[in-house]
């Protein structure tokens, strides 16, 4: 097994180890050690990759340049391979996922109900996520994609709160409809390129070497984009997301909003835009319109929420809209910003949901109006909440600022194929969401943490313990690090975004 196979299968082996662990108390330690090893291996891979990528230029590439590839025939007669590789963009996503699962395990430290199944499912889920980011054969990609989606049903259904069965079913079915669209799109790509060149293959770069007829791109592009868009919470297909996030247990919300929704943006960019550039040009404005609604709808929706989880979930809809907005700008700045936003939003939402879980664990309520003055009893959590809030409204110094400024500057620049006036108008509208974000973040957090303590039993609550401080500390450090030193990520991402944009010419 090569390096990348290890990156995918370490969580899976950890899941097996969790199942075989006899003592319930040891389970979380096994999971933590597994994800810790994964984090170290990810760091090693990232440093190694940085060593290669920082020496290269990508200005003329039209194919994704892959490193550390592993390639074996699987179903030879159909051209299906076990093909792994990594480039800057997928590396960034792997780093994100690895951080989120490590902190997610920490945040689930107090799961006592059937911990074995919980951690095993969580780890199977991230196996799927790593698989998606690292596989470059679309059959393999799709397989991992569904592995990443399905465990959600049980994770929400068993360990969730509120109307959990309903939310779990809604989420699963909507995402499955999305993957149905993707599947049909993949078949169209496979057969059109196969009939054109005589070489049937699911290899991403082989598929990219064929120029698809415009009429075909015109229907396949929206199909795949919407398919991934459903997971990326594209308006009007986002409705699963608030319900799902609100019902899910802490670590699952973290993973889902932090990582899983990024699969949508990643797939839309990596497959839809990369393989179908003409379709992208044709549909860019349409999807920009939808994502503008996304951004505004999400932030206005968040204002009205009373449940902290719904509040964050709507804010996620808005921020994931920025990801897809960036993808739809089809220019270097915007697309780069989209990938940055995936990373930044992943860490930020992870932090948000982790904090909500911690507050909920103490107050046993998530309703904003029922809380107040909590900063007096839990100063650490309050500060962390404010940091997350500031990052989410794009305060300079945090990663959100870097990402959103890239996206909106990109949107304002426009591109060569769409009306620049329309794009600028939409960009201005979308940018206004930042103001709305400030409104809901400041109002919501003010209500929860400032002012007098509303309920006397809150006085007996305690501040964050060690694992909680560790969880939040790691996430804040990452947010801050990316905010002040984004070059590392930007350089990684540029190398993989340029080939995609070069194909648009």
Partner 1 sequence: MSMLPEIIIILFAFLIIALDLIFLDKAKNYLVPVTVVGILAACAVLIFNNSDTLMLGGRFVSGAMHLWLKVTFLIATLLVVILVPESTSENLKNRLSSVGEFLTILLFTLAGMMYLVSCQDLVTLYVSLELATIPLMVLSSWNRDDQGGEGAIKYLVIGALASAFLLYGFGLIYALSGELSIPAIMPQLTEGSPALYLAAALITAGIGFKLTLFPFHMWAPDAYQGAPILVTAYLSGASKAAGLVVALQIFYRLFGHFIVDWAPFVAVLATLTMTLGNVVAVLQENLKRFMAFSAISQAGYIILGFLGNTGADISAMIFYMLVYVFTNLAVFTVLIVHVQQTGKETIQSLRGMSRLNPGLALILMIGLFGLAGIPPLAGFIGKFFLFNVAAKSGYYWLVVLAVLNSTVSLYYYLRLVRQMYIEVPAEGDKPLKIKPLTMLGLGFVTVGMLGLGLIPYFYEQIGRDAAQWLAF
Nearest to 340 by CA among 486, 177, 167: 486
Residue 177 burial (10 A CB sphere; 0-12, 13-18, 19+): middle
Q: How far is 455 from 374, CA to CA, in rounded Å? A: 10
Comparing CB distances to partner 1, the nearer of 153 and 314 is: 153
Among the residues of 210-276, which ranges form H helices?
A: 214-231, 240-247, 250-255, 261-267, 274-275
- The residue from 190, 274, 310, 412 that contacts partner 1 (CB under 8 A) is 190
Q: How far is 114 from 24, CA to CA, in rounded Å? A: 9
Q: How far is 503 from 293, CA to CA, in rounded Å? A: 28
Question: Is residue 20 a contact residue for partner 1 (CB under 8 A)?
Answer: no
Tell me the closest approach of the beta carbon of residue 251 to partner 1, in angstroms. Answer: 18
Residue whose pair of structure tokens reads 């920082």 in the numeric block = 54
Tell me the closest approach of the beta carbon of residue 128 to partner 1, in angstroms. Answer: 9
Q: How far is 50 from 489, CA to CA, in rounded Å? A: 10
- The residue from 62, 169, 409, 432 that contacts partner 1 (CB under 8 A) is 169
Tell me the closest approach of the beta carbon of residue 164 to partner 1, in angstroms. Answer: 8
Strand-pairing partners, residue 83, are 71
Comparing CB distances to partner 1, the nearer of 152 and 390 is: 152
Interface stretch with partner 1, choices 162-170, 305-313, 316-324, 379-387 (CB under 8 A): 162-170
- The residue from 104, 157, 242, 394 that contacts partner 1 (CB under 8 A) is 157
Q: How many residues bind partner 1 (CB under 8 A)?
A: 33
Question: Is residue 172 a contact residue for partner 1 (CB under 8 A)?
Answer: yes
Residue whose pair of structure tokens reads 């609604």 in the numeric block = 293
Q: How far is 269 from 355, CA to CA, in rounded Å? A: 31
Question: Is residue 115 a contact residue for partner 1 (CB under 8 A)?
Answer: no
Question: Is residue 150 a contact residue for partner 1 (CB under 8 A)?
Answer: yes
Tell me the closest approach of the beta carbon of residue 115 to partner 1, in angstroms. Answer: 14
Measured over the CA atoms of residue 421, residue 435, residue 230 and residue 482, the dihedral's sign is positive
Tell me the closest approach of the beta carbon of residue 46 to partner 1, in angstroms. Answer: 27
CA angle 468, 473, 474 (to 5 degrees): 105
- The residue from 16, 37, 62, 184 that contacts partner 1 (CB under 8 A) is 184
Interface stretch with partner 1, choices 153-161, 253-261, 293-301, 373-381 (CB under 8 A): 153-161
Tell me the closest approach of the beta carbon of residue 143 to partner 1, in angstroms. Answer: 4
Comparing CB distances to partner 1, the nearer of 177 and 439 is: 177
Comparing CB distances to partner 1, the nearer of 172 and 415 is: 172
In a 13 Å sphere around the CA of 405, the CA atoms on its Cβ side amount to: 12
- The residue from 146, 282, 455, 463 that contacts partner 1 (CB under 8 A) is 146
User: Phi/psi of residue 172, each to 5°?
Assistant: -60, -45
Question: Is residue 17 a contact residue for partner 1 (CB under 8 A)?
Answer: no
Tell me the closest approach of the beta carbon of residue 111 to partner 1, in angstroms. Answer: 16
Question: Is residue 380 a contact residue for partner 1 (CB under 8 A)?
Answer: no
- The residue from 153, 235, 440, 458 that contacts partner 1 (CB under 8 A) is 153
Comparing CB distances to partner 1, the nearer of 173 and 367 is: 173
Tell me the closest approach of the beta carbon of residue 376 to partner 1, in angstroms. Answer: 39
In the stretch 45-74, what mask flags binding to partner 1 with x, by CB under 8 A? Answer: ----------------------------xx
User: Phi/psi of residue 414, each to 5°?
Assistant: 75, -175
Q: Are 145 and 182 in contact (CB under 8 A)?
A: yes
Q: Strand, coil or helix: what is 54?
A: coil
Nearest to 448 by CA among 259, 282, 312: 312
User: b/e per residue, 406-443, with b = 16+ CB within 10 A?
Assistant: bbbbbbbbbbeebeeeebeebbeebbebbebbbebbee
Tell me the closest approach of the beta carbon of residue 323 to partner 1, in angstroms. Answer: 25
In a 13 Å sphere around the CA of 499, the CA atoms on its Cβ side amount to: 23
- The residue from 188, 257, 317, 338 that contacts partner 1 (CB under 8 A) is 188
Tell me the closest approach of the beta carbon of residue 489 to partner 1, in angstroms. Answer: 31
Q: Strand, coil or helix: what is 461?
A: coil
Interface stretch with partner 1, choices 1-9, 88-96, 136-144, 358-366 (CB under 8 A): 136-144
Question: Is residue 154 a contact residue for partner 1 (CB under 8 A)?
Answer: yes
Comparing CB distances to partner 1, the nearer of 147 and 330 is: 147
Question: Is residue 142 a contact residue for partner 1 (CB under 8 A)?
Answer: yes
Question: Is residue 177 a contact residue for partner 1 (CB under 8 A)?
Answer: yes
Q: Are 139 and 202 in contact (CB under 8 A)?
A: yes
Interface stretch with partner 1, choices 151-159, 315-323, 332-340, 445-453 (CB under 8 A): 151-159
Q: How far is 140 from 144, CA to CA, in rounded Å? A: 6
Per CB under 8 A, residues contacting partner 1 are 73-78, 117, 139, 142-144, 146-147, 150, 153-154, 157-158, 164-165, 169, 172-173, 176-177, 179-180, 183-184, 187-188, 190-191
């Amino acid at each position: 097994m090569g390096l990348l196979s290890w990156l995918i299968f370490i969580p899976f082996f950890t899941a097996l180890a969790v199942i075989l662990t006899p003592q319930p108390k040891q389970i979380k330690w096994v999971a933590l050690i597994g994800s810790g090893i994964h984090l170290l291996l990810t760091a090693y891979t990232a440093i190694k990759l940085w060593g290669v990528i920082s020496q290269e230029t990508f200005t003329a590439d039209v194919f994704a340049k892959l490193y550390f590839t592993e390639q074996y025939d699987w179903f030879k007669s159909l051209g299906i391979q076990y093909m792994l590789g990594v480039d800057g963009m997928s590396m960034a996503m792997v780093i994100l996922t690895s951080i989120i699962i490590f902190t997610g395990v920490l945040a689930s430290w107090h799961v006592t109900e059937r911990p074995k199944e919980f951690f095993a499912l969580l780890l199977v889920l991230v196996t799927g996520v790593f698989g998606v980011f690292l596989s470059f054969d679309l059959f393999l990609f799709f397989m991992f994609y569904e592995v990443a989606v399905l465990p959600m049903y049980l994770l929400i259904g068993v360990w969730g709160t509120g109307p959990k069965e309903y939310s779990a079913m809604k989420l699963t079915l909507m995402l499955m409809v999305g993957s149905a669209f993707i599947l049909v799109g993949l078949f169209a790509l496979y057969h059109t390129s196969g009939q054109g060149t005589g070489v049937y293959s699911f290899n991403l770069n082989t598929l990219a070497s064929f120029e698809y007829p415009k009429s075909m791109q015109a229907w396949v592009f929206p199909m795949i984009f919407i398919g991934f868009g459903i997971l990326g919470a594209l308006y009007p297909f986002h409705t699963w997301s608030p319900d799902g996030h609100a019902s899910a247990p802490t670590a699952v919300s973290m993973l889902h909003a932090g990582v899983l929704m990024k699969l949508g943006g990643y797939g839309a960019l990596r497959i839809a835009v990369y393989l179908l550039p003409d379709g992208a040009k044709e549909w860019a404005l349409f999807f920009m319109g939808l994502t503008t609604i996304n951004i505004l709808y999400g932030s206005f929706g968040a204002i009205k929420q009373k449940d902290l989880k719904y509040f964050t979930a709507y804010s996620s809809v808005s921020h994931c809209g920025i990801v897809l907005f960036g993808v739809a700008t089809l220019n270097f700045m915007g697309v780069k910003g989209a990938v940055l936003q995936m990373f930044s939003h992943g860490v930020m939402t992870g932090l948000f949901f982790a904090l909500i879980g911690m507050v909920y664990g103490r107050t046993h309520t998530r309703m904003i109006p029922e809380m107040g003055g909590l900063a007096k009893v839990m100063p650490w959590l309050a500060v962390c909440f404010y940091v997350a809030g500031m990052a989410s409204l794009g305060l300079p110094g945090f990663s959100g600022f870097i990402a959103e400024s890239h996206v909106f500057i990109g949107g304002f620049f426009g591109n060569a194929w769409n009306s620049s006036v329309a794009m600028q108008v939409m960009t201005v509208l979308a940018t206004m969401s930042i103001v709305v974000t400030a409104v809901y973040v400041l109002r919501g957090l003010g209500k929860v943490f400032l002012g007098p303590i509303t309920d006397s039993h809150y006085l007996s609550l305690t501040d964050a313990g060690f694992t909680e401080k560790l969880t939040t500390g790691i996430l804040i450090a990452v947010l801050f690090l990316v905010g002040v030193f984004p070059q590392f990520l930007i350089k990684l991402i540029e190398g993989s975004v340029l080939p995609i944009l070069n194909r648009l010419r």
